[in-house]
């Protein structure tokens, strides 16, 4: 695979130093591949995995020409943003519980919590919007796209792709971290290199927590950071209240208004992608 050193000012040495000094648990052995420009870091990571790269392999690009978003959307990826994908250990790795294809959202929930918690340690007051958005001040800071390979109903390979607005321009519903820090007079994350290392360590801690503690623990942490609980939304023309998220990543809703004859309000669960919780 052609390797092109980033032309911009991504300081590889600074990034490697930060990763080395900040990594406490060594759950994953990171092996980063840094590119100037790619179609999609997820796409390149799959190619590297097919060539024999192992979990811990990371693909980072300064920009993407065909960044992939959730539900088949495009992820706009100009220079200045963070674009990375990480291969995580799945079936066959020591002490990794088997994950069913139907549980694949657990990887997204764990990564979202891990990244948000890691950023919070640095003073960034980021929260989570169901199912996979990182939000700051009510605006979208970034998103996560998990992709898996499945055999006989079990996940055999998985990658976590993350896009975060660092210094790139953003749509009306978005926010970039550099401008937010400036507006708050903060510089908790001082560079793209630091953001990259922080995000990787966040995914590592989320996946480690999922594998060692299980989805119950991850979900309770995820719900602590979720902005949507208590929101009122229309689902199938019914006004509902968001009450939580299931172990499979579905949104849990309860009918907000019910007739007095009804003794109990039935819970409704809805898959990611079937309902939009919107911004603003
Ligand atoms: C979303 O729709 O919110 C998820 C966006 C995920 C985008 C990232 S950028 C790095 C990685 N490579 C891709 O092609 N997509 C993900």
- 150-165: per-residue pLDDT in tens? 999 999 999 999 999 9
- 221-247: per-residue pLDDT in tens? 999 999 999 999 999 999 999 999 999
Specify the range with the lowest mean pLDDT, choosing from 5-9, 37-41, 192-196. Answer: 5-9
Decide if pLDDT at 278 tops 90. no
Q: Is the peptide bond before 131 cis (omega within 30 degrees of 0)?
A: yes
Give the class (CATH, top level) of 12-225.
alpha beta
Read off the pLDDT of each residue in 34-55 and give the average, rounded to a whole number: 97
Q: Which of 162, 200, 273 to mutate to test the pocket of ligand 1 (most atoms within 8 A of CB)?
A: 162
| Residue partners of 157: CB distance under 8 A and separation at least 6 | 49, 87, 90, 148, 149
Q: How confident is the model at residue 263 (pLDDT cuts 50, 70, 90)?
A: low
How far, in Å, CA of 228 to CA of 223, rounded? 9
The residues lining ligand 1, judged by C-beta closer than 6 Å to any ligand atom, are 40-42, 64, 67-70, 73, 75, 83-85, 132-133, 143-145, 161-163
- What's the whole-model pTM score? 0.95
How far, in Å, CA of 52 to CA of 55, rounded? 10
Whole-number average pLDDT of the chain:
93
Q: Which ligand 1 atom is nearest residue 162's CA?
A: 8
Sheet of 238-245: strand order equals 232-235, 238-245, 251-255, 267-270
> What is the number of other CB atoms lying within 10 angstroms of the CB of residue 69?
15
| Ranges for all domains in the chain classified under CATH 3.30.930.10 | 12-225
């Amino acid at each position: 695979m052609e390797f092109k050193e980033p032309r911009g000012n991504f300081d590889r040495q600074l990034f490697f130093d930060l990763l080395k000094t900040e990594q406490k648990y060594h759950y994953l052995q990171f092996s980063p591949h840094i590119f100037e420009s790619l179609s999609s870091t997820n796409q390149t990571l799959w190619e590297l995995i097919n060539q024999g790269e192992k979990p811990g392999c990371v693909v980072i690009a300064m920009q993407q020409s065909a960044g992939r978003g959730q539900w088949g959307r495009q992820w706009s990826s100009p220079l200045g943003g963070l674009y990375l994908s990480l291969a995580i250990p799945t079936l066959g790795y020591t002490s990794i519980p088997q994950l069913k294809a139907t549980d694949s959202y657990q990887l997204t929930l764990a990564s979202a919590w891990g990244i948000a918690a890691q950023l919070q340690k640095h003073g960034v007051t980021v929260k989570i919007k169901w199912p996979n958005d990182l939000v700051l001040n009510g605006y979208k800071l970034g998103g996560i796209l998990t992709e898996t390979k499945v055999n006989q109903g079990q996940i055999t390979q998985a990658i976590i792709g993350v896009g975060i607005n660092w210094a790139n321009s953003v749509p009306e519903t978005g926010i970039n971290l550099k401008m937010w820090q400036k507006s708050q007079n903060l510089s908790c994350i001082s560079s793209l290199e630091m953001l990259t290392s922080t995000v990787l360590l966040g995914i590592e801690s989320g996946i480690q927590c999922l594998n060692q503690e299980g989805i119950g623990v991850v979900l309770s942490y995820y719900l602590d950071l979720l902005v949507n609980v208590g929101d009122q939304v229309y689902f199938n023309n019914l006004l509902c209240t968001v009450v939580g998220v299931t172990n499979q990543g579905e949104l849990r809703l309860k009918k907000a208004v019910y007739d007095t004859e009804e003794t109990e309000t039935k819970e409704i669960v809805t898959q990611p992608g079937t309902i939009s919780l919107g911004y603003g």
